[in-house]
């Protein structure tokens, strides 16, 4: 009997769960089944470390995507635990109607499936379809509250990301057309593993044009400026668990697509250097978001702009390239996913107990709700890059290598980080300290995922296991 390919199991679990949960009317049972499916997917994804399958024309598992698959499955699982109690409480206070929640957990699993499919795809077309599928599933969840603002945010998300994905499709077609004279018109011209072997023979002219469309198209999903307008609205109006996975996971998946195409450009040798374009968009995103943080009045919009800031930092890191900058980018992706999802969990708990998202109406959380308040304090200190949290290490590596290689670019990089630091610390003071306002009732949702994520980020800042360091180094070399 032939062994089962673990990739099929990883993809089949959320796919089948999405269909199964659509038939479950009891939202309490659906929430538990959603967490069970996410947990089984996490277990299956961890099996890739010991049982790595061979590459096929449809699926690819290498050092780069294996860690993102595990990270995606882990954050999806912990967020599903928070989501179960969060959505249940939203129904109890009648902010959500049970009929609207009918397909929420089904769409959650469909979202997980599309992200994992995008990460594991060995085919450019399958990658594009998966990212488009992730857009469609999250549009439905962003509009879950059915308020005019939520529906407007969902439409803005759908239209802007739809245009971006269309541009990415055009770039993908150009890649195929560029490879066709060398590789023929069949499946190999759309396959990552085959393209990497023959891309040096491909004419660079179409590749250059293709990468511009790819960067703009998938960059829309990453939330890079000036293509970021959908992201603050989607975070502010959608359920908080969706904000956690949008910031913590979906942005990584879109950036993963850009980096795969960057690898093709680098392997060609004669094509346009992708690094400068990525550095420009990364710095623009960092600086825009850093200054916009000062004018936010909605707590979820505040941390949405923080996500734009950090995706700008990560994009800049991969743009400057090299072993240290790539290592810093990979570490920052991981730490940002864990930290930002923890922050949104803390924000979700705070907005539930206070009944508002306005920053001016949320005060003294460390007094009224110590676990939420101190969790938010730890999360903000981590996200602004203070030691001993893991983001400090990644930003330190990036800043030092930028000063060594591109000292003029180090100045706007440090400026953006410092400005964002000041904005978030300024907002944190009123949110966490002082005389508490609003309800003093205990939180009804679980804070365990928040605590677990913050512990992992703290440990990573103090000690990185040697196998993990070697793993990141191998991926950094793979990225060029």
Per-residue model confidence as pLDDT tens digits over 202-260: 888 889 999 999 999 999 999 898 888 899 998 888 888 998 998 888 899 999 999 99
Structural domain total, the chain: 1
Neighbours of 119 (CB within 10 A): 28
Residue 55 lies in a domain: no
Residue 417 or residue 272, greater confidence:
417
Q: Do residues 419 and 286 touch, judged by C-beta distance below 8 A?
A: no
Contact by Cβ (8 Å): 457, 338: yes
- Within-domain flag for 353: yes
Q: What is the mean pLDDT of residues 445-457?
A: 90
- At residue 1 the predicted structure's pLDDT band, cuts being 50, 70 and 90, is very low
* pLDDT band for position 456 (cuts 50, 70, 90): very high
Full residue range of the structural domain in which residue 313 is found: 273-480
What is the pLDDT, as a whole number, of residue 28?
Answer: 86
Residue 2: pLDDT band by 50, 70, 90 thresholds? Answer: very low
Name the pLDDT band for 119 (thresholds 50, 70, 90): very high
Q: Is the pLDDT of residue 374 over 60?
A: yes
Query: Is 44 a member of any domain?
Result: no
Confidence label for 270 from pLDDT (cuts 50, 70 and 90) = confident
Residue 299, pLDDT > 70, answer yes
Q: Do 61 and 48 contact (CB within 8 A), yes or no?
A: yes
In the predicted structure, residue 384 carries a pLDDT above the cut 70:
yes
Q: What is the pLDDT of residue 4?
A: 78
Chain-wide mean pLDDT for the chain? 90
Domain-located, residue 446: yes
CB 316 within 8 A of CB 282: yes
Residues 6+ apart with CB under 8 A from 168: 128, 131, 213, 214, 217, 218, 257
Examine residue 152 and state whether it is found in any structural domain, yes or no.
no
Whether 137 maps to a domain, the answer reads no
Looking at residue 23, what DSSP letter applies?
T
Question: What is the pLDDT averaged over residues 410-437?
Answer: 91
Q: pLDDT tens for residues 162-196?
A: 899 999 999 999 999 988 888 877 788 889 888 98
Q: Which of 341, 296, 151, 159 is nearest to 238 (CA)?
A: 151
- Domain membership of residue 385 (yes or no) is yes
Q: Is the pLDDT of residue 372 over 80?
A: yes
pLDDT band at 282 (very low <50, low <70, confident <90, very high): very high
Provide the pLDDT for residue 226.
87
For 298, phi then psi, to 5°, come to -105, 130
User: What is the mean pLDDT of the segment spanning 422-445?
Assistant: 84
For residue 109, being part of any structural domain is answered with: no
């Amino acid at each position: 009997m032939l062994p089962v390919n673990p990739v099929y199991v990883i993809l089949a679990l959320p796919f089948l769960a999405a269909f199964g949960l659509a038939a479950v009317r009891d939202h309490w049972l659906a929430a538990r089944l959603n967490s069970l499916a996410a947990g089984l997917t996490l277990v299956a994804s961890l099996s890739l470390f010991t049982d790595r399958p061979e590459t096929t024309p449809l699926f690819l598992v290498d050092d780069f995507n294996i860690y993102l698959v595990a990270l995606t499955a882990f954050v999806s699982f912990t967020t599903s635990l928070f989501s179960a109690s969060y959505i249940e409480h939203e129904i109890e206070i009648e902010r959500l109607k049970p009929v609207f929640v009918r397909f929420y957990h089904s769409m959650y699993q469909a979202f997980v499936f599309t992200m994992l499919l995008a990460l594991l795809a060995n085919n450019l077309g399958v990658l594009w379809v998966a990212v488009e599928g992730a857009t469609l599933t999250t549009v439905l969840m962003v509009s879950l509250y059915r308020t005019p603002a939520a529906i407007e945010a969902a439409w803005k998300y759908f239209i802007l990301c739809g245009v971006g994905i269309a541009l990415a499709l055009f770039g993908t077609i150009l890649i195929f057309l560029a490879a066709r004279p060398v590789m023929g018109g069949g499946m190999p011209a759309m396959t990552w593993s085959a393209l990497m072997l023959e891309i040096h023979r491909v004419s660079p002219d179409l590749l250059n044009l293709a990468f511009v469309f790819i960067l703009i198209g998938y960059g829309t999903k990453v939330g890079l400026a000036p293509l970021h307008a959908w992201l603050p609205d989607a975070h502010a109006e959608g359920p908080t668990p969706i904000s956690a996975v949008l910031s913590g996971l979906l942005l990584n998946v879109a950036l993963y697509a850009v980096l795969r195409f960057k690898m093709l450009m680098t392997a060609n040798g004669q094509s346009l250097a992708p690094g400068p374009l990525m550095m420009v968009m990364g710095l623009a995103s960092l600086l825009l978001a850093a200054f916009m943080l000062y004018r936010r009045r909605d707590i979820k919009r505040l941390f949405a702009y923080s996500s734009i800031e950090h995706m700008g930092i990560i994009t800049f890191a991969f743009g400057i390239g090299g072993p240290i900058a790539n290592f810093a980018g990979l570490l920052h992706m991981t730490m940002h996913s864990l930290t930002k999802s923890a922050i949104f969990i803390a924000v979700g708990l705070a907005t539930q107990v206070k009944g508002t998202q306005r920053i001016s109406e949320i005060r003294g959380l460390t007094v009224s709700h110590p676990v939420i308040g101190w969790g938010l304090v730890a999360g903000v200190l981590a996200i602004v890059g203070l030691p001993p949290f893991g983001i400090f290490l990644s930003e330190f590596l990036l800043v030092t290598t930028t000063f060594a290689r591109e000292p003029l670019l180090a100045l706007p990089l440090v400026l953006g980080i410092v400005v964002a630091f000041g904005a978030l610390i300024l907002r944190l003071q009123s949110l966490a300290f002082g005389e508490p306002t609003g309800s003093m009732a205990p939180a009804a949702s679980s804070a365990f995922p928040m605590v677990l994520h913050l512990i992992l980020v703290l440990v990573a800042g103090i000690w990185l296991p040697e196998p993990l360091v070697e793993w990141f180094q191998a991926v950094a070399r793979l990225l060029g």
